[in-house]
Homo-oligomer: A and B are copies of this chain.
Amino acid sequence: MKLQYLEPVASITADCVIFGFDGKKMEVLLIKRGSEPEAGKWALPGGFMERRETLDEAATRVLEQLTGVSNIYIEQFHSFSKIDRHPISRVITVGYYALIDSTNQKLKPSWHASETKWFEINKIPKLGFDHAEIFQAALNTLKKEMAIRPIGFELLPTKFTLTDLQNLYEIILEEDLDRRNFRRKILSMGILTELKEVRKGAHIGATLYKFDKKEYNRLKSQGFSYNL
């Protein structure tokens, strides 16, 4: 019993649920597995933690190796440990999620991914391992976190309209929001900067805004809570 920690009973992987928004659709980044187990199946990008790295480092590394996506903010959300979740060995996986503006990413599949592709979140294919469960847990976390932290801005271009922001919330939360109420709430928080620019094109005259992260952090340190 005393020396049990010298004989690890499971391997550890990190799996990444990368959410992207292209202005209209919420998507998730999947890879087609190029090697066993689950070769040929779609799955979340993931891989084994190595001896000299932390979980965060493992997640960042495998994501870059599999998809070419780098320098993005990822956050751990849950660890999965069902006995038979891996077909060959006992493997615990730690789930990470990230949010990116998907119009702004070049994908370069490599390593043991034969293909890398964005899928709309309500049209994802059958996934290998227990990745459907991990994806759903990440989506539930995102829905919860969006309401209490200004993370949604990571999915938008730097400059956006209030309609862009509302669309994003409606798509993720899967519900219609009252337009006037939404605008009143987000503007009253005082964390958006109104730009002296309007969006040209379809929505003529729609004012553009930027998220003021500095002001958000200042307000937060004074006890302010984001709540949308």
Contact = CB atoms under 8 A, between A and B. Distances in A.
Interface of A: 2, 4-13, 35-36, 48-56, 76, 78-79, 81-83, 86, 88-92, 94, 144, 147-148, 175, 223, 225, 227
A90 B51 contact: yes
A18 B170 CA distance: 37
Contacts of A76: 78-79
Q: Which 4 A-B pairs have the closest CB atoms?
A: A8-B8, A55-B81, A8-B11, A9-B51
A91 B48 contact: no
Contacts of A4: 11, 48
Contacts of A79: 55, 76, 79, 94
Given A11-B9, A48-B4, A54 B35 contact: no
A54 B223 CA distance: 38
A89 to B, nearest CB: 5
A12 B55 CA distance: 12
A9 B50 contact: yes
